[in-house]
Amino acid sequence: MDTFLTEKHRIVRSSVRAFAQREIMPISREIDEDRRFPWEVIEKMGKLGYLGIQAPRELGGAGMDAVSYIIIIEEISRAAAAIGLCASVHNSVALYPILAFGNALQHDKFVPDLAKGKKIGAFCLTEPNAGSDASAIEATAIKDGDHYIVNANKVFVTNGGVADICVMFVRTDPAAGPRGISVIVAEKGTPGFVVGEKENLSGMRANPVCSIRLSDCKIPAENLLAKEGMGLKIGLAALDTGRIGIASQAVGIAQAALLDGIKYAKERIQFKVPIARHQSIQNMIADMATQVESARLMVYRAALLKDQKKPFSKEAAMAKLMASETASRVADMAVQIHGGYGYSKAYGVERYYRDARITRIYEGTSEVHRMVIARNILD
């Protein structure tokens, strides 16, 4: 893989890997078991630029490219996928749409605190009756002078329990169908902004996923991104970027499972030899390694296209589909290599198995990605 990286990218990888091994790996099991959001790590990530990876330096960001972004997300996710999830969502579907569609006033108001990690961002699209069908959202924002009165019930909000700044999808024109959807930036602390109970999830347990409800919330009209009716365009652009982030997260999970599987296979003795000597185990490890490398290459391709300012929607969907399904398969094989111990919380592969499963659902399900890929090919 080094063949495809510049010296700058290799330095980024070495730096973030050392940080993850030092600061994240020692607490990865504890934060999963206790469902604890590790503020002490997040604050350090903010200072290192990991929460403003692609934000410009003049706005407090690290000014890195998309390849650096996926390297950072992969390495953090390899140590603890829930923290990688926080960084991916914060960077790609919270900070990015403000940078890409916001005006200078909005940049100055929101970006520096997000880029430095002083505030955490969230992406609020999913509702009880709207998920893959984003056009079905029911949240409303009614213009009232220089404000919008917003009512919304958003569910499964990643970072929701700690988010200060929420990219909120709402209907500004209920009669206009999909063209009536807009994006408003809502801030925690605004009267009527209510954070729900943290979800008790199977995986990603260190991320405070929860619902966010807005009840007659008065939000300044100046917080509208772009203009009314551009919600779906903003959402699709953000999700393309988000998909390469989640794909790199999935690669990180798969890489961790592969390495743990190799280590255990070399140590576990059965029939008087390490199980790594048995062909059935060797076949699994060969398949795992091949699939991880394949997925990583697809993620790199999508990121390179983004850096080259070329269309990458199809490639992002392919990378997300391949990487998320690879993470599930590789984690499953790692559990199998560990045998009964793989089903025990004493070993990391049990966590990878749980964490991998959700990557096939959020930022677009595998079924949605197959639709996106097919439409790009057939149109």
243-264 per-position pLDDT tens digit? 999 999 999 999 999 999 999 9
Kindly indicate the confidence band of residue 2, based on its pLDDT and cuts at 50, 70 and 90. low
Length, in residues, of the chain: 379
157-197 per-position pLDDT tens digit? 999 999 999 999 999 998 898 899 999 999 999 999 999 99
Could you tell me which CATH number the domain at 232-378 has? 1.20.140.10
8-34 per-position pLDDT tens digit? 999 999 999 999 999 999 999 999 999
pLDDT for 133: 87
pTM: 0.96
228, pLDDT greater than 60: yes
Residue ranges matching CATH 1.20.140.10 in the chain: 232-378
C-alpha distances (whole Å) from 113 to each of 39, 46, 95, 99, 279 are 15, 10, 10, 13, 53
41, pLDDT greater than 80: yes
pLDDT for 34: 97
CA 243 from chain center: how many Å? 7
Residue ranges matching CATH 2.40.110.10 in the chain: 122-229
Confirm if 349 and 335 have CB atoms less than 8 A apart.
yes
Q: Tokens 């209920």 sit at which residue?
A: 174
pLDDT for 43: 97
Residue ranges matching CATH 1.10.540.10 in the chain: 2-119
Catalytic residues: 363
Could you tell me which CATH number the domain at 122-229 has? 2.40.110.10
Average pLDDT, the chain: 96
C-alpha distances (whole Å) from 202 to each of 140, 195, 252 are 31, 21, 18
Q: Which residues pair with 122 in a beta bridge?
A: 166
C-alpha distances (whole Å) from 188 to each of 74, 85, 216, 219 are 29, 20, 14, 11
User: Quick one: 360 exposed, middle or buried, by C-beta within 10 A (0-12, 13-18, 19+)?
Assistant: buried
pLDDT for 3: 66
pLDDT for 18: 98
Could you tell me which CATH number the domain at 2-119 has? 1.10.540.10
pLDDT for 31: 98
277, pLDDT greater than 90: yes
Residue 268: φ, ψ to 5°:
-80, 125
pLDDT for 131: 83
1, pLDDT greater than 80: no
